[in-house]
Structure 1
């Protein structure tokens, strides 16, 4: 079954991720960042339930690393909690590191969701006509890590079948087996890049006047969803420009406000980040209802 957000026109799906990832990177406010991270984890779990623990662990490592790094290297702030090697560790530096870590973790999780929804074909469809070379390069870069990870697993399994398991033997044998896998992976990556380039060239990619066949149609529901995402995104950006997306941490932590436009910004960001999860729930309900009717 196709994912609900993926069933919309590529421009609609792409705009959603631009708004959510863009605002998550701009914001430095604990409420908004928590909304982004929780929503990202929920949607990532819906897309791939098996990776829930992995996603949670990865996000925790990023957050913990940011807290430690900021606390150790930034000594600003009035509230000194303790001293580490004669350097003050302040509540403000820990709080800022926590928010920075949540921001980085949420962006990483949202990008993992992006890779599930926006395929290379969709990305090339959006930007291929205007920026063919750049679009192809970015598309290949975004696919690189998932492709290399998957290919590494395939190579490791094939090596295991011929008795060259990298997890067995002493340290020297493990290193030798791992280097063999790395060598095969690098060779495969270079060959794949050359084949992709030759294939695109043979198909006339990037040549002026080249026609394109598209399976995507921009219909009424795409227009409605584009309007919703665009309106909320514009409101959030205007709110950020006017100071509704940042919290002061230094020299002391500013109070978190829950009044007026702050509540409107919180709710708007909450709605747009949970939008794909809501669409998935509605789609699943439709499928179950249709099966029950049959």
Structure 2
């Protein structure tokens, strides 16, 4: 049991997550509401809450890979965002010091931190979205409404991990043939990398031609063509969907009324703490935690 828990922490739940097996509509509504709230609410309490839960859920889904991605890519991105906003925006009344004749203000630093939290949270949520909402789910949701857009987006979502896997296969095959490795010089490494990228491009183009021929042979785009799926909205999932829409509706209504607005320039103006603001934050936390609760319940049922 200990080894299994350690392996689960290292790899994450992935496709074994209970929320992954839920209906695509449930998955899409969940991520759409959370990402929307994260993008359009600039209140630090909501941004920090979204950032914390995004970290928790990404580690639960993707394990050590999520920690590596969040630390090695997102943290430098956050620091760079704060620095760029601080050095390029000189609004604000609280001047900390002058740098080359330019004002460095507290408001610019805090706004840069808020922007960095928003960007990193959205990126982490989208990494979770890519794990949960697969190409077949996306086509199921939007295939009839906008078939071309659905197919294009599903291929884009699939293309990046597919290229990564193909590049690993090419690199492994080249090493087995005695090419590449760490023992060669820098120029030889660059040449070998160019050769591997060339192989990858040729392989991808050939595969795209085969995919197009296969789709044409199967009648894609013909009028009246149907698609097969195994998705069925269970009664429990209907109640969960209603609860998500209710919680998201509370958040949207409170934000639309302006109870979560905050002004950073020229001085920071926080809205007074109110019952509406507390209800909105509580509903937002419940909404974000719902997917984690579904996965934890699924793990206990499996055990």
Q: Same fold (TM over 0.5)?
A: yes
**Equivalence for 2:97:** 82
In structure 1, which of residues 141, 147, 152 is the aligned counterpart of residue 167 of structure 2?
152
| Cα deviation digits, residues 22-48 of structure 1 (max 9, x gap) | 211112111101111111111111112
The 8 Å contact of residues 70 and 124 in structure 2, kept in 1 or not, is answered as no
Distance 2:272 2:201 in 1: 52
In structure 2, which of residues 276, 281, 288 is the aligned counterpart of residue 273 of structure 1?
288
| Cα deviation digits, residues 215-262 of structure 1 (max 9, x gap) | 111221121111111111222112221123332110111236433111
List, as ranges, runs of 4+ consecutive aligned residues in structure 1 with deviation greater than 6 Å. none
Distance 1:46 1:184 in 2: 35
Distance 1:272 1:61 in 2: 29
Distance 1:121 1:286 in 2: 26
**Equivalence for 1:183:** 198
The 8 Å contact of residues 132 and 205 in structure 1, kept in 2 or not, is answered as no
2:297 matched to 1:282? Answer: yes
2:47 matched to 1:33? Answer: yes
**Equivalence for 1:6:** 20
2:82 matched to 1:42? Answer: no
Distance 1:72 1:194 in 2: 48
RMSD: 1.6
The 8 Å contact of residues 204 and 210 in structure 1, kept in 2 or not, is answered as yes
| Cα deviation digits, residues 159-181 of structure 1 (max 9, x gap) | 22212225442221111111112
Going from structure 1 to structure 2, the CA distance change for 1:30 and 1:166 (only over 3 Å counts) comes to: farther
Distance 2:130 2:224 in 1: 30
Matches within 5 A, 1:120-199: 120-165=135-180, 167-199=182-214
Going from structure 1 to structure 2, the CA distance change for 1:128 and 1:94 (only over 3 Å counts) comes to: same
In the superposition, the TM-score normalised over structure 2's length comes to: 0.90
Distance 2:25 2:52 in 1: 25
**Equivalence for 2:245:** 230
Identify unmatched segments of 5+ residues in structure 1: 289-294
Going from structure 1 to structure 2, the CA distance change for 1:90 and 1:186 (only over 3 Å counts) comes to: same
The 8 Å contact of residues 166 and 175 in structure 1, kept in 2 or not, is answered as no
Distance 1:48 1:66 in 2: 25
Distance 1:99 1:67 in 2: 9
2:38 matched to 1:24? Answer: yes
**Equivalence for 1:291:** none
Going from structure 1 to structure 2, the CA distance change for 1:190 and 1:272 (only over 3 Å counts) comes to: same
The Cα shift of 1:154 comes to 2.0
The 8 Å contact of residues 75 and 93 in structure 1, kept in 2 or not, is answered as yes
**Equivalence for 1:251:** 266
**Equivalence for 2:79:** 64
SS class of match (2:20): helix
Distance 1:221 1:200 in 2: 36
Q: Which moved more, 1:39-48 or 1:209-218?
A: 209-218
Identify unmatched segments of 5+ residues in structure 2: 1-14
2:115 matched to 1:100? Answer: yes
Distance 2:261 2:192 in 1: 49
